[in-house]
Each structure stands twice: as C-alpha cells, then as structure tokens.
C-alpha cells in the first residue's frame, strides 16, 4: 500500500493541484505536502499526493554504483577466461 | 532520467547478484533479513529475486502491510459503521484491500452485498469530494496506513476543517513504523540479522529515524526503493555490513530519501493526530505505535461520532497463523490453513486478503525458485 509512482509535473493550478505525467498518462495530485514544487520537477505520487521531489544527482550516484559493480564483474570474467 | 527503466537493467542485476553471492560466502551461517514493507514483499516475489539469492541469505516478510496488521477489534468496528448513522446509510470510503478482510461477524464486502454504501477510494481526496457532494450523508474514511499514507489523510482532515465539513470523519487505525521495529527487536522471536527498510515510509521519516535502532540493537538497516535493482542493492549493502560486522543505517534510495524526511508532511501529521498506544494483529499492543485525533480535530473522529467503542468485537479466527507470519516466525506455507481452508477467494486471515500480504504473495507466486 506504500507504493508511490514517479512522474513529472506538467502544470500546477491556483489551488495547488498538480498535473503529473506518468510516461504519457496524466493524473492530478495535490502539491500540498511538498513546498516549492515547480513544473518540470520529477516527483513521487502516493494516494493522490506528491510526497517528495526526486533528486537527479542522487539517482546518478546510484547508477554509477551499478556501473562500478558491472565493471568489477567484467574484470573478474576476464581474469577467469584469461 | 525517467526514474524507472534505469533501475531495472538486467546487466546491472547480474552484477549485483554476483556481488551478493561473493559477500554471502564471507558470512558464516545464515543471514536472516527482514523486508519490513509489504510493497517490498510483493516486489521481491514478482521479480523472482529470492531464486537468485544464495542459500544462506534468508528473506522474511515483516509487519509492514497496513491492512494485515489492522487488529480484529478495529476491523469489527469499521464493519459496524454502515449499521450506524441513524439510518442515513453512511458512505464508507476505503482503500480497496480493506473490503475483503473478514471481521469476526462480517466483512465490508458482505455489508456491501447487503446494501451498505462501501466505496473504494484511490486517494483520501476522493472521500472529501463525496462528502461535499452528499451534504445530507455521513462519509467515513477508513484511516489505515503507515507514515507514507497517514500525512495524506491528515491533509484531507485539515481541508475538511477549513471547509467546516460536518459530515466527514476518519476512523483512525494508523500505525507508526519505528515502534513496531523496536517491538520486533525486543521480541524473543528476534534472530533477525538486518532490516531492509521501507523506501516510502522513509521518504517521510528520513533516514536518521533508524539510527537509534541500528545503534541500540546492533542491526544494520538499509533503506531501499522498489525497483529490482533497488532491492538487490539494498540486500547487497546489508550483506556488506553483516560480513564486516557493522550495523549502520545506509540509504540505498538516495534519489527519494534524505536524512530529515518530509518535515512538512510529518508536521502536518502531528498537528492533526498524536501518538497513542495501538493494537496490532500479530504484534499485540505496542506503546505509542498508533495515532489518535488531537484536541481541535476530534470532531472528525469516526469512533466518537458513531459510538464505535460500544461495538462487540471478536478475536482472530481459530488456527489462523497471521499473527506469527507478521512477526516473521512462520512462513505462510507452514500455516495449517494455507491454501486449503484459507485462499484468496475465501480468506481466513488478513495476510491472505491484502495483495501485499505475505500469504497472498506466496499463493500467487508460489514456491517458484524459492
């Protein structure tokens, strides 16, 4: 029940309701729980509310970690086959 | 960056699994890891992660399915609501999973078949809308959920207060996660080596919330997201710590969780509600693990409005293993009722009803690759 879905804000109206794009499907969600949201922000939506703003820098850090692990694995494979 | 496909890459999954296997080989004996959150349980089954783990890494499901841990007296009082309200047929608004949970004398589904107006809401905002559209009728929202969900309901209660709505109320059956974690760690069943902590509860709480438990009980806590790579990374980071005999809080879901959490949401939550002792299915009464209305908002309390304290409530069904399943001491297939008396079509206990219940997950995804 704690599922939240990532999407991008495409509009925020005058009563602080945001239209969020989830890969082509849009839904309206309340922007009341997160201060300072803007159009273009990637956010997580849970039960009709935006619960946070996603941090691209942090996401890139995690992806870098995956790349690093992948690199280590390839090195090991090379050692085994070599 | 779409924040989805990037975290599902099969190549990276292979690398993480290789890393997990290597680290697990450094650990003597078993590493028993509890995934606390029901959404993690489902994601783990669906992605087949269990089949990829080495034999000494054991994942057990915890009490983080809000529908599952709702205690029988709360279920019975909620199911009694349609019979209250002086014949005005109150609208009962709820998240879908609650509808089929058996109480001791009926279920919301059965009440609906008998004419009750039970409506499934995707958001608590829906119930507010129904209250505004039906000023002559009472609308009750069934407030279940952890810290991810409860602030959304607090926001709706505050809105109802601003609108001075007289026909809207909430049944407060919320649960707080940290006290449950502490209860599990204090329990003699214990024997858990580490915790995969729930990503979206942590969005609200912040990663610092786990530090006292990691420190006091010497168990590593890793916060993880819900994509397959997130979960594998979480498990890998837990094993790293177990192999090195560390017990720290590590945030493997940095794109969504920071140290302090969503302060605005938590402040709002604690403006409308205050911590109170609460009864959990499986874990019993846990001090300050639930939420009740605070002074100034009690006019929205469905328990008071409908006199629900007076409802005669029952106990858990005989033979049902949910209580032990929720503490991680009984695996669903080992429950004597599993898949014979108790099935998703005819559930006995809540863990077989909720799509996030571990019994329902075991039934659906079976023993494939376990």
Residues B94 and B226 placed together within one structural domain of the fold? no
Residue in A35, A46, A62 closest to B149 by CB: A46
Q: Which residue carries 């449950």 as its tokens?
A: B180
Residue in A23, A54, A66 closest to B256 by CB: A54
Residues B105 and B209 placed together within one structural domain of the fold? no
Q: The CATH number of the domain where B43 resides is what?
A: 3.40.50.11750
Half-sphere exposure of B159 (CA within 13 A, CB side): 21
Residues B228 and B290 placed together within one structural domain of the fold? no
Residue B223 lies in a domain: yes
Q: B67: which chain A residues are within 8 Å (Cβ-Cβ)?
A: 1
Residue numbers of the domain that contains B150: 72-176+261-310
At what angle are helices B38-47 and B358-365 packed, to 10 degrees?
Answer: 10
Q: B87 vs chain A: nearest CA distance in angstroms?
A: 30
Q: Check: CB of residue B155 under 8 Å from CB of residue B286.
A: no
pLDDT digit of tens for each residue in chain B (370 aa)?
889 999 999 999 999 999 999 999 999 999 999 999 999 999 999 999 999 999 999 999 999 999 999 999 999 999 999 999 777 789 999 999 899 999 999 999 999 999 999 999 999 999 999 999 999 999 999 999 999 999 999 999 999 999 999 999 999 999 999 999 999 999 877 689 999 999 999 999 999 999 999 999 999 999 999 999 999 999 999 999 999 999 999 999 999 999 999 999 999 999 999 999 999 998 899 999 999 999 999 999 999 999 999 999 999 889 999 989 998 889 999 999 999 999 999 999 999 998 889 999 999 987 654 4
Q: B193 vs chain A: nearest CA distance in angstroms?
A: 24
Q: Between vectors from CA B233 to CA B26 and to CA A54, what angle results, nearest 5°?
A: 155
Q: B86 vs chain A: nearest CA distance in angstroms?
A: 31
Q: A34: which chain B residues are within 8 Å (Cβ-Cβ)?
A: 262, 264-265
Q: Does B201 touch chain A (CB under 8 A)?
A: yes
Cβ pair B123:A49 closer than 8 A: yes
> B73-84 burial, b if ≥16 CB within 10 A, otherwise e?
bbbbbbbbbbeb
Residue B166 lies in a domain: yes
What is the structure's pLDDT at B370?
Answer: 46
Residues B278 and B239 placed together within one structural domain of the fold? no
Cβ pair B4:A6 closer than 8 A: yes
Q: A36: which chain B residues are within 8 Å (Cβ-Cβ)?
A: none
pLDDT band at A56 (very low <50, low <70, confident <90, very high): very high
Residues B161 and B303 placed together within one structural domain of the fold? yes
How many folded domains does chain B comprise? Answer: 3
Cβ pair B255:A54 closer than 8 A: yes
What is the structure's pLDDT at B187?
Answer: 84
Q: Check: CB of residue A47 under 8 Å from CB of residue B127.
A: no
Task: Look at residues B14, B5, B65, B56 and name the one whose alpha carbon lies nearest to residue B32.
Answer: B56
What is the structure's pLDDT at B132?
Answer: 97
What is the structure's pLDDT at B89?
Answer: 87
Residue B38 lies in a domain: yes
Q: B22 vs chain A: nearest CA distance in angstroms?
A: 11
pTM of the model: 0.95
Residues B169 and B290 placed together within one structural domain of the fold? yes
Cβ pair A2:B264 closer than 8 A: no
Residues B162 and B294 placed together within one structural domain of the fold? yes
What is the structure's pLDDT at B188?
Answer: 78
What is the structure's pLDDT at B290?
Answer: 98
Residue B36 lies in a domain: yes
Q: What ipTM is given for this predicted complex? A: 0.94
Alpha-carbon distance of B138 to B293, in angstroms, equals 18
Cβ pair A51:B203 closer than 8 A: yes
E-strand spans in chain B? 31-37, 57-64, 91-94, 117-120, 139-143, 168-172, 194-198, 221-224, 249-251, 273-280, 284-293
Residues B244 and B285 placed together within one structural domain of the fold? no
Among candidate residues B310, B334, B351, the one where a domain is terminated: B310
Residue numbers of the domain that contains A39: 5-81
What is the structure's pLDDT at B57?
Answer: 97
How many folded domains does chain A comprise? Answer: 1
Cβ pair B12:A70 closer than 8 A: yes
Q: The CATH number of the domain where B95 resides is what?
A: 3.40.50.11740
Q: A62 vs chain B: nearest CA distance in angstroms?
A: 8
Q: Does B76 touch chain A (CB under 8 A)?
A: no
Q: Does B96 touch chain A (CB under 8 A)?
A: no
Residue A41 has pLDDT above 80, yes or no: yes
User: If contacts are CB pairs under 8 Å, which of residues 279-308 in chain B contact chain A?
Assistant: none
Residues B82 and B143 placed together within one structural domain of the fold? yes
What is the structure's pLDDT at A2?
Answer: 81
Q: The CATH number of the domain where A47 resides is what?
A: 2.30.30.140
Q: A49 vs chain B: nearest CA distance in angstroms?
A: 7
What is the structure's pLDDT at B241?
Answer: 98
Residues B204 and B228 placed together within one structural domain of the fold? yes
Neighbour order of strands in the sheet with B117-120: B117-120, B91-94, B139-143, B168-172
Residues B98 and B223 placed together within one structural domain of the fold? no
Alpha-carbon distance of B91 to B115, in angstroms, equals 11
Residues B80 and B162 placed together within one structural domain of the fold? yes
């Amino acid at each position: 029940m704690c599922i939240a879905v990532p999407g991008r804000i495409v509009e925020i109206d005058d009563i602080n309701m945001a239209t969020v794009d989830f890969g082509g499907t849009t839904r309206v969600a309340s922007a009341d729980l997160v201060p300072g949201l803007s159009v273009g922000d990637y956010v997580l939506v849970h039960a009709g509310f935006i619960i946070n703003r996603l941090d691209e820098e942090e996401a890139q850090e995690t992806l870098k970690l995956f790349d690093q692990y992948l690199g280590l694995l390839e090195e090991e494979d090379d050692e085994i086959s070599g | 960056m779409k924040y989805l496909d990037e975290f599902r890459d099969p190549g990276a999954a292979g690398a993480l699994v290789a890393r997990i296997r290597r680290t697990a080989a450094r650990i003597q004996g078993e590493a028993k890891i509890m995934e606390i959150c029901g959404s993690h349980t489902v994601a783990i089954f669906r992605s087949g992660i269990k089949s990829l783990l080495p034999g000494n890494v054991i994942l057990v499901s915890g009490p983080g399915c809000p529908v599952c841990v709702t205690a029988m007296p709360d279920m019975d009082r909620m199911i009694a609501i349609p019979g209250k309200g002086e014949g005005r047929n109150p609208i009962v608004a709820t998240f879908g999973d609650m509808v089929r949970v058996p109480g001791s004398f009926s279920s919301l589904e059965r009440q609906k078949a008998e004419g009750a107006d039970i409506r499934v809401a995707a958001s608590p905002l829906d119930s507010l809308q129904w209250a505004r559209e039906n000023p002559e009728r009472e609308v009750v929202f069934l407030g279940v959920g952890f810290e991810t969900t409860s602030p959304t309901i607090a926001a709706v209660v505050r809105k109802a207060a601003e609108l001075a709505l007289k026909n809207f109320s909430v049944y407060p059956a919320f649960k707080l996660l940290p006290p449950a974690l502490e209860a599990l760690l204090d329990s003699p069943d214990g024997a858990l080596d580490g915790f995969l902590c729930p990503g979206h509860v942590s969005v609200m709480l912040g990663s610092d919330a786990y530090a006292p438990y990691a420190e006091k009980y010497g168990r590593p806590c890793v916060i993880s997201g819900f994509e397959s790579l997130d979960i594998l990374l979480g498990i890998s980071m837990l094993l790293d710590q177990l192999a090195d005999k560390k017990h720290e809080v590590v945030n493997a879901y940095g794109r969504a969780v920071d140290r302090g959490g969503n302060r605005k949401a938590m402040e709002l939550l604690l403006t409308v509600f205050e911590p109170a002792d609460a009864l959990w299915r499986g874990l019993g009464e846990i001090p300050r693990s639930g939420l009740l209305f605070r002074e100034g908002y009690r006019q929205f309390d469905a328990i008071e409005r409908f006199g629900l304290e007076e409802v005669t409530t029952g106990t858990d069904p005989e033979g049902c293993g949910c209580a032990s399943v929720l503490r991680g001491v009984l695996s669903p297939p080992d429950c004597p009722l599993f898949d014979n008396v108790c099935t998703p079509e005819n559930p006995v206990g809540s863990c077989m009803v909720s799509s996030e219940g571990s019994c329902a997950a075991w039934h659906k995804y079976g023993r494939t690759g376990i």
